Structure 1
Amino acid sequence: MSLQVAPHRGLATTTALVGAVVAAAAGERDVIVLLGDPGELVPSTDPVVVVLADDAALVTAGSTIRADHAVATVGYSAGADTRATDIAVDVEGTGFVALRHGVALPVRLALVGERHVPAALAALEVGLQLGLPPETAVAALAAVTSAESGNLETAASAHGRRLIDDGYDLTPLSTTEALKTLAEITRDSARSIAVLGELDLPAGTGPQESREEHDRIGRLVVRLNIDALIVIGQSARHIHNAAGLEGSWDGESVLVDTAEEAYDLLTDQLSERGSDTVVLVKSPFSDRLRALGATIESVSA
């Protein structure tokens, strides 16, 4: 039995979710999951093939793997064999309803963020294709309790504090997703702090386009009503500047030069008002800020 995974977001997380149901099924069939660019696939005999229905190119690629075109599709579109609805994200994880051939299956993940839903859908479909009872497949998904390092990875304390490390991908799309997740899980329940750094932009991006991308993120922080913003580095200053120009925002933005300054500032803020606070760290310096997990645990409530 072999498992080949082309992820939508996060190889390790996708592999963990799919691997959990494969292990529960204890099957012998090969499994191929295509949620992103498949690259080179190893030929396989009679594999279970699951592809993302929302990407026509992947559906086409999946259908070429099997001569009988027996490919299962997952995603958000109405034509998917298994699709996700009623997605809800909170500080403890992500829930959704999987609709499969008219049957609704409630799914609860211990992973925070809607970005994990396509992988969970694919894993669920793999389990069902391998003959698992629906409740067993759902339980296998719920048992996956940790994401890969830096992929909306969380650390929490008993005082309602939580650190979300999302430094593995610093693109504008990923940053937008992470900020929306932060806003959703803290709405009316906790204070939100975003720690952001320079965005990862395509090679050849010019100064004007770079400024516009950073500016857009700063304004998004305001529109999402994030309570506080810390920006690290002069190369990311346009995030700070854009947020400060939004007069309707009640939050506060601070620009610092180093991760050490950001760490000290956050430690002070948590000391002053540490309980019920969620900190999102999305910066090239995320690895140097992971010690905040210990700070979140130790600062007095």
Structure 2
Amino acid sequence: MIALSLAEIAEVVGGQTHDIPDPSAPVTGPVVRDSREVEPGSLFVAFAGERVDGHDFAAAVVEAGAAAVLASRPVGVPAIVVPDVQAALGALARHVVRKLGTTLVALTGSAGKTSTKDLIAQVLRRKAPTVFTPGSLNNEIGLPLTALSATEETRFLVLEMGARGIGHIKYLTELTPPRIGLVLNVGTAHIGEFGGREQIARAKGELVEALPSAEDGGAAILNADDPLVRAMASRTKARVILFGESDEADVRAENVTLTEAGQPAFRLHTPSGASDVTMRLYGEHHVSNALAAAAVAHELGMSASEIATALSEAGSLSRWRMEVTERPDGVTVVNDAYNANPESMRAALRALAAMGKGRRTWAVLGKMAELGDESLAEHDAVGRLAVRLNVGKLVAVGGREASWLQLGAYNEGSWGEESVHVSDAQAAVDLLRSQLRPGDVVLVKASRSVGLESVAQALLDGGNEGEVAAR
């Protein structure tokens, strides 16, 4: 964070200083909410959660070097006490972002946010110092913490914005007002909470509504291939830039192919020229992500050749998202278990099919959460798609939703052995360890709550012994 005194921070957040011997002392370290991340000069943000209360760690973090604690009550050590810690954190982020004057890029969408954010960051940091959201910390706590990690040297701040309801993204844009807003797609993630795709589109479009006008430098980057996203052009005063495979897109891909390993290659066209891209990531769905990143980079002055080189060298920065690892025996494990929705499930299955040409493929899948009334139909459809893509075997893991996955595959299949339903992660590991052969490709994917990353990890740990931790 930029250096601010404790007195300045207290004024910004409307707080009172307690037990601070020198209010002019600066906060020189990061702003953190995890006591294990405290460094000398840090500001520790004490949230009171259902299971853990950060206030209980106040003495320990100050002993570890924290300059003070942002708290909702006095804690017996240097602290800035506020009525609402979350609101105070947001106010501090808003103050720092405005003071920095860095170019802020915000993105949202139903699927692909984190992968695209990682691509944008890897492209832009070739041009200038860039700070970006780590992992998927895209909510009202993670977003301001990321913004506060920017310094005077930061030129680009790339922030992922998530939403679980109307007004969420509007709130985030008020904390960190973007100049460039990117909307990837409108799918069915969290459709059970929103109530329909139109409501999801309404929520995602709050991002482009918050942008400055075209005259003031605002740029809305929209997916030309998604009608609900493209329609958001009418909701913004910013200049609209389209990306996609459509001929009408300003930034588009031509001659899209997949390498033998399943990595996308294409000809990138931007208003400044064209250049060839061969990605290190797996799956054709990354073409759209790459085009979105290219549109952002073009808007910020990078040439087509610079963008293409950066995209061709970019890798995966966030764990459990299409992490591809080959075991010594030739079995390839694809750990995509961080999260799942119908769109990302379909993309992952298609990537598996491309990677597994001439090899035996396994899809180890669990439930997709928060689908509401669409849950049965969506799980059934994913199971059927696995069979249509000639995935060798679907292993459906867990309870009711997994049974729907398995039933969809069973009903779509021709000989009844294309799928199997197992009770939990350990049963899946036991099955795979007994049946995997050298050269097989295994995809592991489910919603985060299922914890199927343990299956991928168990397969990579090797051997035929050991148990998966219960979750």
TM-score (norm 2): 0.54
Aligned to 2:222: 51
Aligned residues, how many? Answer: 288
1:155 Cα deviation after fit: 2.4
Aligned to 2:440: 277
CA 1:58–1:173: 2 relative to 1, 3 Å:
closer
1:195 Cα deviation after fit: 0.8
Task: Report the identity percentage.
Answer: 30
Larger radius of gyration: 2
Q: Aligned equivalents of 1:289 and 1:223: distance in 2? A: 24
CA 1:265–1:73: 2 relative to 1, 3 Å:
same
- Correspondence 1:111 to 2:281: yes
3-state SS, counterpart of residue 25 of structure 1: coil
3-state SS, counterpart of residue 71 of structure 1: strand
Kindly indicate whether the alpha-carbon contact (under 8 Å) linking 2:218 and 2:239 is maintained by their aligned counterparts in 1: no
Q: Aligned equivalents of 1:247 and 1:38: distance in 2? A: 40
Aligned to 1:87: 256
CA 1:250–1:260: 2 relative to 1, 3 Å:
same
1:169 Cα deviation after fit: 3.6
1:104 Cα deviation after fit: 4.3
Match of 1:139 among 302, 309, 315: 309
Residues 169-207 of structure 1 show CA distances to partners (whole Å, capped at 9, x for unaligned) of 43333322222221122122x2101112233352245xx
Q: Aligned equivalents of 2:347 and 2:257: distance in 1? A: 14
Q: Aligned equivalents of 1:23 and 1:147: distance in 2? A: 14
3-state SS, counterpart of residue 194 of structure 1: strand
1:293 Cα deviation after fit: 5.0
1:195-214 to 2 correspondences below 5 Å: 195-200=364-369, 202-205=371-374, 210=376, 212-214=377-379
- Correspondence 1:72 to 2:241: yes
CA 1:293–1:233: 2 relative to 1, 3 Å:
closer
- Correspondence 1:39 to 2:206: yes
Kindly indicate whether the alpha-carbon contact (under 8 Å) linking 1:192 and 1:279 is maintained by their aligned counterparts in 2: yes
Aligned to 1:263: 429
CA 1:158–1:18: 2 relative to 1, 3 Å:
same
Match of 1:253 among 410, 419, 431: 419
CA 1:103–1:43: 2 relative to 1, 3 Å:
closer
Aligned to 2:346: 176
TM-score (norm 1): 0.81
3-state SS, counterpart of residue 150 of structure 1: coil
Residues 59-90 of structure 1 show CA distances to partners (whole Å, capped at 9, x for unaligned) of 45456655xx6432101222111222333345
CA 1:61–1:254: 2 relative to 1, 3 Å:
closer
Amino acid at match of 2:314: V
CA 1:120–1:143: 2 relative to 1, 3 Å:
same
1:204-243 to 2 correspondences below 5 Å: 204-205=373-374, 210=376, 212-235=377-400, 236-243=402-409
- Correspondence 1:15 to 2:104: no
Q: Aligned equivalents of 1:161 and 1:40: distance in 2? A: 42
CA 1:251–1:86: 2 relative to 1, 3 Å:
farther
CA 1:20–1:9: 2 relative to 1, 3 Å:
same
1:143-158 to 2 correspondences below 5 Å: 143-158=313-328
Residues 31-53 of structure 1 show CA distances to partners (whole Å, capped at 9, x for unaligned) of 33232424346554414542212
After the TM superposition, which parts of structure 1 deviate over 6 Å for at least 4 consecutive aligned residues? none
1:146 Cα deviation after fit: 0.9
CA 1:241–1:60: 2 relative to 1, 3 Å:
closer
Aligned to 1:162: 332
Amino acid at match of 2:388: R
The unaligned stretches of length 5 or more in structure 1 are none
Residues 230-271 of structure 1 show CA distances to partners (whole Å, capped at 9, x for unaligned) of 12124122333443455635854322111111111112223x
Amino acid at match of 1:276: G
Amino acid at match of 2:444: V
Q: Aligned equivalents of 2:292 and 2:318: distance in 1? A: 18
CA 1:127–1:214: 2 relative to 1, 3 Å:
closer
Q: Aligned equivalents of 2:228 and 2:379: distance in 1? A: 31
Which segment is superposed worse, 243-252 or 101-110? Answer: 243-252
Kindly indicate whether the alpha-carbon contact (under 8 Å) linking 1:227 and 1:250 is maintained by their aligned counterparts in 2: no
Q: Aligned equivalents of 1:215 and 1:59: distance in 2? A: 29
Q: Aligned equivalents of 1:192 and 1:228: distance in 2? A: 7
CA 1:251–1:226: 2 relative to 1, 3 Å:
farther
Aligned to 1:289: 455
Q: Aligned equivalents of 1:246 and 1:14: distance in 2? A: 33
Q: Aligned equivalents of 1:220 and 1:21: distance in 2? A: 34
Q: Aligned equivalents of 1:214 and 1:38: distance in 2? A: 27
Match of 1:96 among 251, 255, 266: 266
